[in-house]
Structure 1
Amino acid sequence: MAKKNRILQQIKRYIILLIGSIIYAAGLEIFLVPNNIIDGGVVGIAIMASHLTHLPLGVFLIVVNMPFVYLGYKQIGMTFTLSTIFAIVSLSYWSNIFLPIPGLTNDLFLASVFGGIIIGIGVGLIVRYGGSLDGTEIVAILVDQRTSFSVGEIILVINLFILSAAGLVFGWDRAMYSLVAYFIASKVIDITIEGLDESKAAIVVSDYGEAISDAIRARLGRSVTVLHGEGGYTGNTKNILYVVITRLEISKFKSLIEDIDENAFVTINDVHDVMGGSFKKKAIH
């Protein structure tokens, strides 16, 4: 049974990677490329190389990415590498399929907005299911291990160079529209990966922990983990509550705590993924 589930999960992974590649290719060939607007990273380099050499974009998507895929295999592992190769080859194929289709708009702002949204959805699906289309992320991970810069900072610097190069190749107005598309795509990627119903982890320290725990279960339908701690200053024993809620439940969560203990110490942080437990359970009322 476990083996069957793993096979089904792998099939699901590659179906989603295929769908993500198709969506991404559509955003590129129907909105961005016809208007000389680029995406960041390796895809941006491939678009400029295709424009300068008049060779198909799909060729450069594979050629430019291959060294980075090799690095990914060495540093991250086989599953990531296979998923990435599949996504890149699929993107190359579908970009050639969409190539004859004329662009839907000549308006640069509309092209950058809708192109950014569509490629953001495509990349988000691919990343969410363990693949990648951008070798610069792998470079950023390697540089991050050897410097004090974060992965996000390194990717930003790399993309600033790439978008600056777009200004030399396509003109500075196209480079600025490319920046708009890149910004929109990055936000849509986050939404696609994390979902609109973003999760939050809350920690509550209160002398009324049992009452708050009961209220959370009754009013939000969420399970609560009780951790046993000790006040660093007073030395008193404290019950610490840990619960995962959605972004939409934050207001109700704060309200129920204030009703019981307005002096409770509460922290709420972003959570990027949730597995198991009863998190998906709906609120009771």
Structure 2
Amino acid sequence: MAFRESILASFKHFLPIALGTAIFAFGVHYFVIPNELMEGGVTGVSLLLHYALGLPPSITTLVLNVPLFYLGWRSFGSKAMVYTIFGSLSVSFFLWVMEVMIGKGWLVPFITKQDYLLAALYAGFTIGLGLGIVFRFGGTTGGSDILAQLGNKWKGWSVGQMILLIDLIVIGTSLLYIPKEKILYSLVSVFIGSKMIDYITEGAHSAKAFTIITNEPEKISRMISEELDRGVTLFPAKGAFSQQAKEVVYCVVYRQQMSRLKELIRKTDPAAFIIIGEVHEVLGEGFKVH
């Protein structure tokens, strides 16, 4: 029974990762390669080899990732690398599928000679969407992700800074083969892709966290529960100047409920002190299931 549940849990990750890599491969072959745009990391190196030598990205991506698989396996263990290896193999597979479909004329890429901005925007959207799905379900596409994690483990370097540095080196090197105008369009694509990844991984339903310091905590808590159907937490506190004991009201609401909550607070206690913070994702009862 436990083994069966483990298999089902794995499929809940493998299937979305496969979907994400398919979208990623589509974006690379439909928007990026036909317009000679660039990407960062191992994908970018594969694109450089494709532009310079005509090598298929499906093969070069796999070949470049193999030694990184070994290093990652040795450093992080098999369990941590399972989804990364699956994601990387899936990327190579779907890149090959797209190459076959384009070669047989089943898929006609988007090619433009005037509006490269449109190609860059859609490239960033599709690649970011695909990678966002992969990352959200615990996978990666290997390459610079593994190098960044190794740098973090061995040297304590920031993962984000390592990925950015690798991407800048790869895209900078591409100036040897690609006009600088297309490099600038590629940077637009990378930026849009990063925002799309954040949107997918952090959740589409952004919320607001309210911290309310008030003399009417019970009334405000009851109104939040009854009017907005949101949970409330009360924290004991004490004013530093007055030395009076207070209760701080804390709750999280959807963005569209923010105006209504401020109105309720004003009606109940016009002197209440309100702190509103950004919340990118909420897991739990009343929001999204874990």
Using structure 2 for the length normalisation, give the TM-score.
0.85
Whole-Å separation in 2 of the counterparts to 1:78 and 1:63: 20
Whole-Å separation in 2 of the counterparts to 1:226 and 1:244: 13
Q: How many residues align?
A: 281
Find the residue that maps to 2:209 and give its secondary structure.
strand
8 Å CA contact retained: 2:73, 2:81: yes
State the partner residue of 1:133: 141
Judged with a 3 Å threshold, the aligned counterparts in structure 2 of structure 1 residues 153 and 219 are, in CA distance, closer, same or farther, namely farther
Judged with a 3 Å threshold, the aligned counterparts in structure 2 of structure 1 residues 271 and 138 are, in CA distance, closer, same or farther, namely farther
Amino acid across the alignment from 2:273? F
Larger Rg computed on CA atoms: 2
Find the residue that maps to 1:132 and give its secondary structure.
coil
Q: Does 1:42 align with 2:42?
A: yes
- Offset from partner CA, 1:61-89 (integer Å, 9 cap, x none): 22223344445445655444111111111
Taking only aligned residues, the RMSD between alpha carbons, in angstroms, comes to 2.7
2:246 to 238, 244, 254: 238
Whole-Å separation in 2 of the counterparts to 1:236 and 1:148: 45
Unaligned 5+ runs, structure 2: none
Alignment of 1:24-173 (within 5 A): 24-73=24-73, 78-99=78-99, 100=102, 101-106=107-112, 107-143=115-151, 150-173=158-181
8 Å CA contact retained: 1:140, 1:151: yes
Q: Shift of residue 11 of structure 1? A: 1.1
8 Å CA contact retained: 1:58, 1:93: yes
8 Å CA contact retained: 1:163, 1:175: yes
Q: Does 1:267 align with 2:271?
A: no
Unaligned 5+ runs, structure 1: none
Q: Shift of residue 30 of structure 1? A: 0.8
Q: Does 1:198 align with 2:206?
A: yes
8 Å CA contact retained: 1:42, 1:64: yes
Using structure 1 for the length normalisation, give the TM-score.
0.86
Judged with a 3 Å threshold, the aligned counterparts in structure 2 of structure 1 residues 31 and 274 are, in CA distance, closer, same or farther, namely same
Whole-Å separation in 2 of the counterparts to 1:49 and 1:141: 25
Whole-Å separation in 2 of the counterparts to 1:267 and 1:78: 44
8 Å CA contact retained: 2:84, 2:142: no
- Offset from partner CA, 1:172-227 (integer Å, 9 cap, x none): 11211110110111111111222321133332222221112112112221111222
Judged with a 3 Å threshold, the aligned counterparts in structure 2 of structure 1 residues 84 and 280 are, in CA distance, closer, same or farther, namely closer
8 Å CA contact retained: 2:124, 2:190: yes
Q: Shift of residue 150 of structure 1? A: 4.7
